[in-house]
A and B are shown apart, each in its own frame.
Chain A
């Protein structure tokens, strides 16, 4: 069956350190993968997209990698700040029809 797996345990990290989140998928062949940020009770907000032929993408303090052989994406927040505390969702192209399939999200808590 198809699965998108993100760590269910919250990541607690000291301010200034790099937070790294993992998204693993099974039985998908996505053309791209996206990462969203979600604050409690609010809608997800798009952060980054990476295509299958790209290995790495950066935006300010965020970096995403995509390894189609390992079927994995890594999401990094460098120099983390308390304001980065949120849940981060990975989403991928589920069927090539612009339909996104979402992981359950991974909470990040940045400790001052």
Chain B
């Protein structure tokens, strides 16, 4: 089954404790992206990757890192999480061709205390 998976689905952590949210897709997609979704603010892009070893900042990259060492994986790293990073996070992928739809993962609900 074609899908985007994220782990963990739920995470409660404390300020300053480094964490990684994994994202993996099995569709051989070139384009991958991370979004955060907050009430009243909608979906905002954090980082995106057009291909392996190619990443770029989205609209709200501060406090986040990403890497794209393999085509299928695109982990999101929070080196020193803060409470304002409490949010619902989505990973998405697409073929990278113009007009193509994005496939979203199930989401990771992160709470930083």
Contact = CB atoms under 8 A, between A and B. Distances in A.
Interface string B74-113: 0000000000000010101010111111111111010000
Interface string A78-112: 00000000000100010001111011110000000
16 contacts: A31-B98, A41-B107, A43-B90, A43-B104, A43-B106, A44-B43, A44-B90, A44-B104, A93-B98, A97-B50, A98-B50, A98-B100, A99-B45, A100-B102, A102-B44, A104-B40
B68 to A, nearest CB: 15
Interface residues of A, number: 21
Interface of A: 31-32, 34, 41-46, 49, 51, 89, 93, 97-100, 102-105
Contacts of B94: 98
Residue of A89, A100, A104, A105 with most chain B CB atoms under a 10 A cut-off? A100
B45 A42 contact: no
Interface residues of B, number: 30
B48 A46 contact: no
Given A43-B107, A49-B101, A104 B42 contact: yes
